[in-house]
């Protein structure tokens, strides 16, 4: 079965965000993304179309929170 997850990507910044139209937090993320990248080259596509494109980074709220946790863990290990 093909992957149905859709993403919104910005070709200028090399970032993407997963689209979950039923999730209110994801809709807020999508609005944030669209505002931030409003004058950039963007496109909506299937996540499978990003396969083999490691140059694109996920910038969803969940991904940002996980990254911040990793940074905090790294800082705590240095203390």
Q: Tell whether 21 is covered by a domain.
A: yes
16 vs 51: CA distance, rounded Å: 13
4 pLDDT band, cuts 50/70/90, is confident
Which range of residues forms the domain containing residue 52?
Answer: 6-78
Q: Tell whether 65 is covered by a domain.
A: yes
Q: Which residue has the higher pLDDT, 8 or 60?
A: 8
Assess whether pLDDT exceeds 90 at residue 51.
no
pLDDT at residue 12 in the model: 95
Q: Tell whether 17 is covered by a domain.
A: yes
Q: Tell whether 1 is covered by a domain.
A: no
Direct distance between the N- and C-terminal alpha carbons of the chain, in angstroms, rounded to an integer: 48
Q: Tell whether 39 is covered by a domain.
A: yes
pLDDT digits (tens, 9 = 90+) for 22-48: 888 888 889 999 999 999 999 999 989
Pairing of strands 57-58, 15-19: parallel
* Count of structural domains, the chain: 1
Q: Which residue has the higher pLDDT, 38 or 61?
A: 38
């Amino acid at each position: 079965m093909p992957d149905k997850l859709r993403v919104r990507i910005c070709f200028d910044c090399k970032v993407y965000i997963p689209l979950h139209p039923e999730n209110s937090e994801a809709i807020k993320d999508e609005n944030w993304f669209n505002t931030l990248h409003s004058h950039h080259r963007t496109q909506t596509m299937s996540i499978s179309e990003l396969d083999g494109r490691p140059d694109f980074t996920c910038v969803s709220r969940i991904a940002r929170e996980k990254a911040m946790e990793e940074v905090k863990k790294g800082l705590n290990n240095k203390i």
